[in-house]
Structure 1
Amino acid sequence: MAKTKGAKQKIQAPKGTKRKAQKPSSPPPRKQKAQKTEQDTEETKPAPRPIEDAVALLTSDELARIRYGDGYPFNLWDRKIGDWLVKSNDEIGRELRNEISIRRWVDYFGVENVKDVKHLSDDQKKKIISSLDGWCVQIPWNSLLNRFPFCVKKDFTKYLLCVLIEKDIVTKMYDNPFWYLDGKKGPDDEEGDETFGQRLKYLLDRFVEADPGDASLLRSDISRLANGTLPCQVRSGVWGKYHAERRTRQVEQWAADFIASEPACWLLRQNNTFSEQDRHEILTDIYRWSAEKWAHISSLRGNYNFYQLPDLGKTFNKESGLVKRANDHVPPFGDESVEGMRILLVVCGGIRVQWENPDQGDEFYVCAKASVLAQEKTMYH
C-alpha cells in the first residue's frame, strides 16, 4: 500500500503545470459556431409587417370577433347597441378635465395678483368680465372681487385667466366635435370649407331633437371613421392620421392666437424666467391633449352636453349633483358655507351624457361636475 501511494505521488504533475496545459489556446469550435448561427438569425430576421397590411388581410368575420368578441354577428343592429369602445362616465370626466393642467400654466405665466393689473382701465376690466359671459356673473370688477371667497381672493386674476382658457377649449372643440373635418367637395378641392364642422353640428343638433339615440349613433360613427384606431374600430387608419395632423396644426395656431388676444394678454405676466416659446409650447400641449382626447371620446355612444353657468342656476346646490367647489376653494365650514349662495365663477365646466333608456326614457348622467367658486356665508348674512 505504501509503495502504491508513493508511485502515485511520483507521477502526479504540479498544479501550475496541469492548469496551464488545460487552458485552451482558442475558443472551442462549438461556441464559435453557435455565435455565428445567432448572428445569421438576427441578420435574416424579417422586418415587422405594418399593422395596416395585417388588418387588410382580415375578413369581415375576423374583424367582427376583434371588435365585438365571439357570439356577436356583424350586422347593423349589433353595431348600434354594441359597446365596442367602453369607458365609464367617471373615466370620461377625468380625461376631459383641464382644470389642473390649465392652473399650472397660469401659475407660471399669469399675473401674480390683483396689484399687477392696477394699470388696467375700467373699460378693460369690463371687457374681461363680459368676455366670460356664461361662465362668470356679469357684475362690475370691484363687486366681483369683493364677493370672491376670502381663501382664494389673492388669485382672483389667475382664476379669470383659467376660465378664459377653459372657455376657449370648450367653445372651439367640445361644442364643435367636427371642427377638424376639412369639408372638401372633392379631390380637386384644395381649400375646403372651414364652416363645414359647424354646419354638420347644427344638423346633428336637429337630429337629436328628432331621435337622440340614432343621432348619437350617427355622431359616434362619424367620429370613429374619422379617428378610429386599428384594428378594433376601422380597417384603414389613413384618415385617422390625416385628421390628427390637421388637429396638430390647428391647436398650435389656437394657442398662439389666445396668447396674443385681448383680454387674455392683459392677464399674462410680461417678465418671467420662461421664454415665449416655452409659454406657447406648453399651452399648445394643453390644447392638443384636449383635442385628441375629445376626438376619441366622441366616438362613444351618447349625446354629450358641456354645461356652464346658465344650466346651474344662480345659487350653489350640492343636491343637484351638477356642481362642486373648485379644487382650491376650501371654505371655513365646508359646503355649508356656500350652500344656497350665489355662484360667481365656473372654473371648469360640467359634462353630461344623454342615454336612451326604453323603460325610463331619456336620461342624463353626469361625467364630471362643474367646478365653481361661490360666495361664502359670513356673520353678516
Structure 2
Amino acid sequence: MGRTNQTRQPERKSEERKPFQEDKSETQNRVYGPGNYFLSREEYYDVLAQCNLMEENACSQRCILDLVSAQFNHLDCTIRTWTHAWTRRESMSHLQSDEKQDIINSLDGYCVQEDWDSIHPLLPPGTRANMGPVLGATMLYQFIFSKLIDSPFWFLDGKISPTDVDGDPQFHLRLQYLYERIREASVYKAAWWKSVTIGECNARSAFDNNPANTGLAQGTAVQRKATVESLTDELLGCRVFQLLLRPLEYKKDVSLRHEQLHRILHDAVNTILYTEGGMFGNTTIERLADLPVFVHESDRMTSHMHHFTSPQNTPCFAALDGGRTLIVTRPGLVYSQMQALGHGRIFPPERVVKAEVLAEVKRPTKERVSRKGSTSGVAKPTKGRRAQRAKKLSASPSVADAKDDTGEHGEDREESVPLGKQIPPRRKTFWRQ
C-alpha cells in the first residue's frame, strides 16, 4: 500500500501541474500587467510609444486638472476686477424701460425672460445696488463661452491654399458640424478628434510658451491674435454692454479699459485652448435651462457672493432653497466621454467650473415670541403685571432680563433676525460708560 501511494502521488502532482502549464502556454505573452490593461507585449509598447509622444508632441498632452482649475479661478478674479472698475456701480435706475428690457433680452439663456421690475426686487440687496458689475460679468461670461467654447474651432481661417488671403469666415462652423456628426457616430472618437485638432493647430514649444515651429501652429497664432483683437472691439461696441459701462472722459482711461479687456480675452483663450486641447472629452455647458431651481447641496451650482451663503445661512440675503434661479452669472462647464489610453478604461465626467447663480432671496421673517403650549407659535396678549413685565423686557432686551424671563415664566424667546441683531449690547462698566 505504501508503494502504491508513492507511485500515485507523482501522478496527482503531474495532473495538478498540467492545467497550470496549459494556462501558462495560453498566457505566456501576458507579462506586462493584468489583462484589463495590457494584454500583450505589442500593446504595451504601443501605449509606451504614446506616452513618449505626449512628452514630445504638445497636441497629445493631457491637461492637468489642478492647473485648469487655477486658470479658471484666475480668469474669474480678473473678470470681477474689470467689471468692478469699469461698469456703473449702481442700481441702473437711470436707464429707460426699453433699455432695461434690451439688457434682459440679450441675456437669454442666462437670465429669466421677464421684465426688469419683477426681477429686481427678488435679488439680494448687494445685487440690487450693483447691477452694473453683476450684469457686466454675466455678459462677459456669456460672450466668452459662446465665442470660444460653443464654437471650438473658432481659430481656423479656412484657407484653401497658401495664396488664399481672406479664407472662409464660416469654415469653423462647417468643421463644427462635422464634429457633431462624428459625435453622433462615436462620442469617444469625436472627443479625441476634437482635442487632437485643437492641440495640433495651437501646439506650443516644449521649452517655452511660443507657438511650435510648424506652419500650422504659426499660421494659427497669427489668426488667433487677430481674432482676439476683433472680439475685444466687438464686445466694447455692443450697445447693451455699453449701457452697463460708466462714461469716461479721458482717452487714456478708454485705452486702459480696452487693454485690460483684451488681456482678459487673451487669458480666456489660453485657458480654454489648454482645456479643450488636453481634456479629450466632449463639452457640456450648463446654463439657466439646466439649472432652473436653486439647491444648496447641489454639486452643479453655487450661489453668488451677494447671497453671503454659508453653513449658517444669513436669513436676510440667503438664496431660497428650491426657489427660482434668476440669473446664471457664470455657466457651469463639464467634460465627459473621456477615454484613457489603457484597454477599455473610461474616465468619469469632470466638472471644471461650477455654475454661479443668483436666486430668489429667502424671505426674512419678523421677530416673534413663541410660548410653550401655543400651537400657533405667536405670543398671546397679556394683561396686568405680566403685560407690564413683557413691556419692560421689550424696552431693555438684556441677557440678564431674558434669562430671568425664561426662568420665571417658562417662556422661550425665538427670534428670526440677522446674527448681528441677536448680539446683546455691551454692559456699562467703570471703563465703558
User: Which TM-score bucket, shorter chain as reference?
Assistant: 0.7 to 0.9
Alignment of 1:1-381 (within 5 A): 72-74=47-49, 85-97=61-73, 98-114=75-91, 117-231=92-206, 236-271=213-248, 275-300=253-278, 301-312=280-291, 314-331=292-309, 333-334=312-313, 337-338=318-319, 339-356=321-338, 363-379=348-364
Q: Secondary structure at the match of 1:353?
A: strand
8 Å CA contact 1:183, 1:197 repeated in 2 = yes
Q: Secondary structure at the match of 1:304?
A: strand
Instruction: Tell me how far 1:270 sits from its aligned partner.
Output: 0.4
Relative to structure 1, the CA distance from residue 204 to residue 83 in structure 2 (aligned partners, 3 Å threshold; closer, same or farther) is closer
Count of matched residue positions in the alignment of Structure 1 and Structure 2: 307
Q: Secondary structure at the match of 1:316?
A: coil
Instruction: Tell me how far 1:73 sits from its aligned partner.
Output: 4.5
Q: Secondary structure at the match of 2:142?
A: helix
8 Å CA contact 1:223, 1:299 repeated in 2 = yes
Q: Percent identity?
A: 25
Instruction: Tell me how far 1:363 sits from its aligned partner.
Output: 4.5
Q: State the TM-score, normalized to the length of structure 1.
A: 0.72
Q: Output the CA distance in 2 between the equivalents of 1:264 and 1:159.
A: 12
Give the aligned CA root-mean-square deviation in angstroms.
Answer: 3.2
The worse-fitting range, judged by mean Cα deviation, of 212-221 and 197-206 is 197-206
Relative to structure 1, the CA distance from residue 75 to residue 156 in structure 2 (aligned partners, 3 Å threshold; closer, same or farther) is closer
Instruction: Tell me how far 1:219 sits from its aligned partner.
Output: 0.6
Q: What CA deviation, in whole Å up to 9, does each residue of 1:58-115 have, x standing for no partner?
A: xxxxxxxxxxx99844369x98xx995233445424423533211111111101202x
Q: Unaligned 5+ residue runs, structure 1?
A: 1-68
- Higher RCO (CA 8 Å, separation ≥ 6 residues): 1
Q: Output the CA distance in 1 between the equivalents of 2:253 and 2:162.
A: 41
Q: Output the CA distance in 2 between the equivalents of 1:278 and 1:83.
A: 35
What amino acid sits opposite 1:86 in the alignment? Answer: R
Q: Output the CA distance in 1 between the equivalents of 2:80 and 2:249.
A: 17
Relative to structure 1, the CA distance from residue 71 to residue 183 in structure 2 (aligned partners, 3 Å threshold; closer, same or farther) is closer
Instruction: Tell me how far 1:331 sits from its aligned partner.
Output: 3.8
Q: What CA deviation, in whole Å up to 9, does each residue of 1:195-243 have, x standing for no partner?
A: 1111211221222222111111111111121011235999844422322
Q: Unaligned 5+ residue runs, structure 2?
A: 1-43, 367-433
- In the other structure, the counterpart of 1:8 is none
